[in-house]
Amino acid sequence: MAASDGRSGGPDGRPKSDVRPKSAGRGRRPGRGRGQDQGQGQQVRDVAHRVLRQVAKEGAFATLALGAALKSSGLDARDRALVTELCYGSLRQQMRLDRALAALTPRGLGKLDAATLSILRVAAYEILFLERVPAHASVNSAVRAARRLGGQRFAGFANGVLRTLAREGEPALPPESEPRAHLAIAWSTPGWILDALSEMVPAAELSEAVAAFNQPAPLTLRAHGVSVEALAERLRALHPQGGFSLSPLAPQALLAEGLGDPELSQAFAEGQFAVQDLGAQLAAHLLAPAAGARVLDACAGVGGKSAHLAALVGPEGRVDAADRSAGKLRLCAEGAARLGADNVHTAALDLASDDAVAWAQAGLAEAYDAVLLDAPCSGMGVLRRHPEAKLRLQPGDVGEMAALQARLLDAVSARVRPGGVLVYSVCTFTRAEGPAQIAAFLDRRDEFALEAPPSPAESGVDWAAAGLTSEAAGAGAGTIRTWPHRHGADGFFLARLRRRA
């Protein structure tokens, strides 16, 4: 996904630079002219239609569907960026787009299939939010796609709906004096998710927070095996069109703009960096394992944090990356090999199990100096990267995730040696999966206690100066929160706990 400057949006759900009254016309950015509308412009939209159809009909993850589609598309970098914007923009604003389309469709959208809706949504997104091409080009492209899909009758339907939308615009948003209703429509965010967010941020920040969760996430790299300054210098030489700046939050973090696909960089192939959000990087720094320590990365997934921990413990240490998914662990092993993290060892296991035999058979230790539990969660903190989650999550999912997290905490905490450290991490902002989860755990396991973040000398992070202390984050003593609107990071909740010796 293209890098972002992290700006929050205006009150109507458009980026601030695009906000303009209806009398001034649709918010369109200057870009390709009409010559792009036929041929290649149609291919761009066709790829976006296909990706959105897979997301809606097959339940595909947008990142995976988009990545596969772009890889086989043959499109240049500029067109790939436009496909990305059309896909992610349409998903971020799907509720608002559907509201606008439904207002122009007498029978509503309920009987339209995923392919039809994908065509209409992409065109509506262009009409309402982009300046790339004139409105008639967006309409004409959708009509051509509709004709291929359903013949002239459907083409006529699409033409009528979209031309009316281009002429009349969308229905008025609820007034800002009704903040919940206004934000729900402006940012296509279900009310119950807004309610969960409003529990965790001050009312004065709610609008900014919602906007930030609906902007593209910045591209953040983690220097590996080289200093972050050396990585920045190397990338500037390899990619003079890019912009690279050090982050004040994490010592090895580098913010990248204009890099393109980071995995195509020679520096990536040479193992000099990993792609990793600031919040994810802070989890390893909060654990702060000593050199030579033995560490368990529980629910390691594809191993982004495993490789980071491996760098922190050094060659004399060991990181056991455990997950129930063998497929994810294969990617973990491949990533560790690329980065030269030879001290990462993978283990396939259901970590919620307290079966000592199963743990031993997986090659895991009875006790660890430090354990990181990056638990499965509702994922609301990464909506910037996975906007389709807004459309799939249900209120009951939070309770199910919290129950699983509790089982995992009980299982992996038993593997922390006396005097050792446990860090609990989730990329979400709900109370049930964060503060309430830790409070309940401490009630069950009185041999653990919350502990303040390690010192800057120990962790490499000045938590207070970065506004990451529990008091600054409003997260409760001994815990950390990161926010897109405050820190430019994904929304993480982190807690550091010490087992009494």
- Cα dist from 105 to 110, 132, 150, 160, 164, whole Å: 10, 26, 17, 10, 10
| Same domain? 87 vs 54 | yes
Q: Is 7 inside any structural domain?
A: no
- Give me the amino acid identity at 177: S
Q: Which residues of the chain have pLDDT under 50?
A: 1-11, 15-37, 471-475
| Same domain? 295 vs 386 | yes
Residue 421: how many other CB atoms lie within 10 Å: 25
Question: pLDDT value at position 17?
Answer: 34
- Distance CA(307)–CA(96), nearest Å, equals 40
- Distance CA(44)–CA(86), nearest Å, equals 9
Q: Is 11 inside any structural domain?
A: no
Spatial neighbors of 22 by CB under 8 A, at least 6 apart, are 169
Q: Indicate which CATH number applies to the domain containing 228.
A: 3.30.70.1170
Our CA dihedral for 127, 132, 136, 142, rounded to 10 degrees, sits at -70
- Distance CA(368)–CA(295), nearest Å, equals 6
| Same domain? 191 vs 134 | no
| Same domain? 316 vs 457 | yes
Residue 97: both structure tokens together = 């787009």
Question: pLDDT value at position 39?
Answer: 62
| Same domain? 224 vs 76 | no
Q: Indicate which CATH number applies to the domain containing 160.
A: 1.10.940.10
Can you name the residues that pair with 421 across neighbouring β-strands?
Answer: 370, 498
* Predicted model pTM: 0.89
The H or E element spanning position 22 is none
Q: Which of 3, 491, 81, 490 is nearest to 245 (CA)?
A: 3
Q: Indicate which CATH number applies to the domain containing 328.
A: 3.40.50.150
Spatial neighbors of 115 by CB under 8 A, at least 6 apart, are 49, 53, 57, 149
φ, ψ (nearest 5 deg) of residue 370: -150, 140
| Same domain? 223 vs 353 | no
Residue 483: how many other CB atoms lie within 10 Å: 25
Q: Which of 126, 129, 117, 142 is nearest to 54 (CA)?
A: 117
Spatial neighbors of 430 by CB under 8 A, at least 6 apart, are 196, 199, 200, 378, 380, 398
| Same domain? 422 vs 330 | yes
**Structural domain for 233, as ranges:** 219-275
Annotated binding-site residues for S-adenosyl-L-methionine read 323, 350, 374
| Same domain? 430 vs 456 | yes
Q: Is 3 inside any structural domain?
A: no
Question: pLDDT value at position 38?
Answer: 58
Question: pLDDT value at position 131?
Answer: 79
Q: Is 4 inside any structural domain?
A: no
Tell me if residue 419 falls in helix, strand or coil: strand
Q: Is 174 inside any structural domain?
A: no
Question: pLDDT value at position 212?
Answer: 98
Please count the helices (runs of H) and the strands (runs of E) in the chain.
Answer: 21, 12
Question: pLDDT value at position 476?
Answer: 56
φ, ψ (nearest 5 deg) of residue 184: -60, -40
Q: Is 5 inside any structural domain?
A: no
Q: Which residues are catalytic?
A: 427
Question: pLDDT value at position 12?
Answer: 56
Q: Tell the residue number behind the tokens 């967006």, with chain if given.
A: 138
| Same domain? 71 vs 130 | yes
- Distance CA(65)–CA(72), nearest Å, equals 11
Residue 337: how many other CB atoms lie within 10 Å: 13
| Same domain? 88 vs 187 | no
Question: pLDDT value at position 227?
Answer: 97
Are 311 and 272 in contact, with CB atoms under 8 Å apart?
Answer: no
Q: What is the 3-state secondary structure (H, E, C) of 139-152?
A: HHHHHHHHHHHHHH
| Same domain? 79 vs 197 | no
Counted domains in the chain: 4
Q: Is 1 inside any structural domain?
A: no
User: C-alpha angle 158/164/14, rounded to 5°?
Assistant: 100
Q: Is 232 inside any structural domain?
A: yes
| Same domain? 258 vs 187 | no
